[in-house]
Structure 1
Amino acid sequence: MTARTALHNRLEQGVATLGLSLPDGALERLLDYQALLERWNAAYNLTAVRDPVEMVTRHLLDSLAILPYVQGETLADLGTGPGLPGIVLAIAAPGRQILLVDSNGKKVRFLREAIRALKLDGVRALQSRVEQVEGQFDCITARAFASLADMLGWGGHLLAPDGVWLAMKGRDPADELPGVPAGFAVRGIHALAVPGLEAERRLVVLGRSGA
């Protein structure tokens, strides 16, 4: 069995465990993204995860776990790093406009190469601080990016009136909930079971108060 086949099997099993149905060719494109990230990571240190098998678990499956909660026609992924979860979501559920935001130039160069190489229609990368980004989005994702208070303080203006904010967290974020700014409300906190990952994962779903 080739290394690529082993990764494909692991990803396929993980997707099945998550109960997801992905478009034709999506698994191969996700592995193409993983391979590109692995190649660039050797020179640019884009992620601390270096083992390909761990990349499938900690990057691909971890990002895919939030797919059932993603909604709307437009999405902004804040503090996206090398495209997590934004690029994974773009491959797994194509058709929406996605903005990938990061302040790190090396990571944004990688994102632009990934968008080009993977032919990701409707996806663009922006090098910017979150508070300087303009526009409004139906869905906002943020993965281990900052506290809830800081996330919403810096990027709350980007959430459309009836939009949903998906904050990916590790441990139980209960101690962060009092810091949620006025004008926003927690809609739910979901424990995510990422196949092959022992660590805790939580998804905090937020929206605008009264929406």
Structure 2
Amino acid sequence: MGFFDNDIWMPPAEGRVEAEAKVTGKGKYAAEYEVQHVCYGVFVASTIAGGTIKAIHTDDARMVDGVLDILTHENRPPLSVFADEAKIKEARLGLPIFHTKQIYFYGQPIALVVANTLEEATYAASLIHADYERSAFSVDFEKAQAAVPLAATGKERGSVDAWSNAQHIVEAEYNIKMEVHSPMEMHATIAMWTADDKLTLYD
């Protein structure tokens, strides 16, 4: 009896409830919800692949008409889960974007410009630049993996020793190219306070 024998139960297929709306152009996406008193946010991205932020220059951007605020790791609202930078890595909570001066990758968001219009936010973001302390980085996957080995999960499944008794063993190395996405929706999120203690997200 093999793994793919006919007696293996498979759950019935379920259709995606939004599929018809999307393929017919009737789907409503996050950016298409109409809410009152909207402001817009545009990220400023890191121009280096690794290092630390020495300073972020936002004075010129703050002078742009319509700019409401500019958030960086220096003035962002506190988030208790990232309060202790030394414990972030240990807790495996993900990258503490906006909660550290550390740069982990090229294009990392380092500032968020909030303005009355998308055009004002985009223009102000173009005026922001940062001074960095660069550090070494690697673009070679094998070298990077050797320096930082994969973390053990503590979970085991199956028997590794079973490979030694296999009738056939195929050894090969595959390089899979990055997917080419054909987006149906722009990247957008709408956050709207509907009460003092209730936030509605369209994402």
Identify the TM-score tier after normalising by the shorter chain: under 0.3
If you compute each CA radius of gyration, which structure gives the higher value, 1 or 2? 2
Q: Which has the higher contact order (CA 8 A, sep 6+)?
A: 2
TM-score by length of 1: 0.22
Q: Greater helix percent: which structure?
A: 1
